[in-house]
Amino acid sequence: MPAVVVQDLVKTFRVAERRPGLLGAMKGLFHREYHTVRALDGVGFSLQPGELVGYIGPNGAGKSTTVKVLAGILVPDSGRCEVLGQVPWQERVRHVRNIGVVFGQRTQLWWDLPVIESFDLLRDIYAVPQVQYAATRDELVALLGLGPLLDTPVRQLSLGQRMRCDIVASLLHRPALLFLDEPTIGLDAVSKLAVRDFLLRLQREQGVTTILTTHDMDDIEALCTRVILINHGSIAFDGTLEALRGRVTQERYLTVEFADGGAWRDEPDVTVVRSNGQRYTLSFDPRQIAAADLIARIAARYPVRDLLVENPPIETIIARLYDEDQP
Amino acid sequence: MADAVRLYTRYIGASLRAQMQYRASFIMNALGHLAITAGEFLSLAALFGRFGNIDGWTLPEVALFYGLVSCAFALCEGVARGFDDFSRTIRNGDFDRLLVRPRSTLLQVAGQELQLLRVGRFLQGLAVLIWSAATLGIAWTLPRILLVLGAVLGGVCLFYGLFVLQATLCFWTVQSLEVMNTLTYGGVETAQFPVTVYRAWFRNIFIYVVPLACVTYFPALAILDRADALGSPTWFQWLAPLVGVGFMALAPQVWHFGVRHYRSTGS
Amino acid sequence: MSAYLSTFQARGRVLLQYREAALAGVVTQLFWGGIRIMIYEAFYRSSSAAQPMSYAQTVTYLWLIQAMLLLVPWRVDPEAAASIRDGSVAYEMVRPADLYWYWFSRGLAQRVLPVLMRAAPIFIIAMPFFGMQAPVSAAAALAWVASIGAAALLSCAITMLATISLLWSVAGDGVSRLLATLASLLSGSVVPLPFYPDWAQPVLNALPFRGLMDIPFRVYTGDVTLGQWLPLLGHQLIWTAVLVLIGRWLLARGLRRLVVQGG
Candidate from B176, B197, B198 with C-beta closest to C21: B176
- The C-alpha atoms of residue C131 and residue C44 are separated, in whole angstroms, by 15
d(Cα B186, Cα C188) in Å, to the nearest integer? Answer: 19
Classify domain A250-311 at the CATH topology level: Alpha-Beta Plaits (3.30.70)
Residue of A29, A31, A32 to mutate for C, most C C-beta atoms under 10 A: A29
Inter-residue contact C24 to B175 (CB < 8 Å): yes
Position B19, amino acid: Q
Q: What are phi and psi of B57, to 5 degrees?
A: -95, 135
A284 vs C14 pLDDT, higher one: A284
Secondary structure, 3-state, C61-126: HHHHHHHHHHHCCCCCCHHHHHHHHCCCHHHHCCCCCCHHHHHHHHHHHHHHHHHHHHHHHHHHHH
Q: What is the dihedral of CA B28, B30, B36, B38, to 10 degrees?
A: -120
Query: What percentage of chain C carries pLDDT values higher than 70?
Result: 88
Cα gap B250→C211, rounded to integer Å: 47
Chains with at least 3 CB pairs less than 8 angstroms from chain A: B, C
The pairing of beta strand A99-103 with beta strand A177-181: parallel
Q: Are B197 and C38 in contact (CB under 8 A)?
A: yes
Interface pTM (ipTM) of the complex?
A: 0.89
Q: Are A273 and A249 in contact (CB under 8 A)?
A: no
Rounded-to-integer distance, Cα A51 and Cα A224, Å: 9
Answer yes or no: are the C-beta atoms of C175 and C148 closer than 8 Å: no
- Would you give the DSSP letter of residue A86? B
* Local structure of residue A145 (DSSP, 8 states): T
List chains touching B (3+ CB pairs under 8 A): A, C
The pLDDT of residue B220 is above 60: yes
Q: What digits encode the pLDDT tens for the residues A195-230?
A: 888 888 888 888 889 999 987 778 888 888 899 988
Looking at residue A114, what DSSP letter applies? B
Q: Identify the closest residue of chain A to B104 by CA–CA distance.
A: A93
Query: pLDDT by residue (tens digit) across A221-238?
Result: 888 889 998 888 889 889
Q: Are C195 and B47 in contact (CB < 8 Å)?
A: yes
Please give the average per-residue pLDDT across B175-192, as a whole number: 84
pLDDT of residue B33: 82
Side-chain half-sphere exposure of A86, counting CA atoms within 13 A = 19
Per domain, the residue ranges of chain A are: 4-246, 250-311
Give the DSSP letter string of chain B: -HHHHHHHHHHHHHHHHHHGGGHHHHHHHHHHHHHHHHHHHHHHHHHHHHHS-BTTB-HHHHHHHHHHHHHHHHHHHHHTHHHHTHHHHHHHTHHHHHHTSSS-HHHHHHTT---GGGHHHHHHHHHHHHHHHHHHT----HHHHHHHHHHHHHHHHHHHHHHHHHHHHTTT-SSSTHHHHHHHHHHHHHHTS-GGGS-HHHHHIIIIIS-GGGTTHHHHHHHHT---TT---HHHHHHTHHHHHHHHHHHHHHHHHHHHHHHHH--
CATH of A4-246, picked from 3.30.1330.60, 3.40.50.300, 3.20.20.70, 3.40.50.150, is: 3.40.50.300
In chain A, which residues have pLDDT < 50? 326-327
A75 Cα to chain B: minimum distance (Å): 5
pLDDT in tens, B68-121: 999 999 999 999 999 998 988 998 889 999 999 999 999 999 998 888 878 888
Q: Which region among A48-62, B57-71, B191-205, B239-253 has the lowest average model confidence (pLDDT)? A: A48-62
Q: Do A125 and B103 touch (CB under 8 A)?
A: yes
Residues of A near B (Cβ–Cβ under 8 Å) read 13-14, 65, 68, 71-75, 89, 92-94, 96-97, 99, 101, 103, 106, 108, 110-113, 117, 121, 124-127, 153
Provide the pLDDT for residue A58: 79
List chain B domain ranges: 2-265
Cα distance between residue A182 and residue C219, in whole Å: 60
Q: How far is CA C134 from CA A85, C137, C138, C188, C209, in A?
A: 71, 8, 9, 20, 24
Residues A295 and A269: beta-carbon distance below 8 Å: no
Could A25 and C23 be called an inter-chain contact, meaning their C-beta atoms sit closer than 8 Å? no
> Cβ(B171)–Cβ(B262) under 8 Å?
yes
Residue C178: pLDDT band (50, 70, 90) is confident
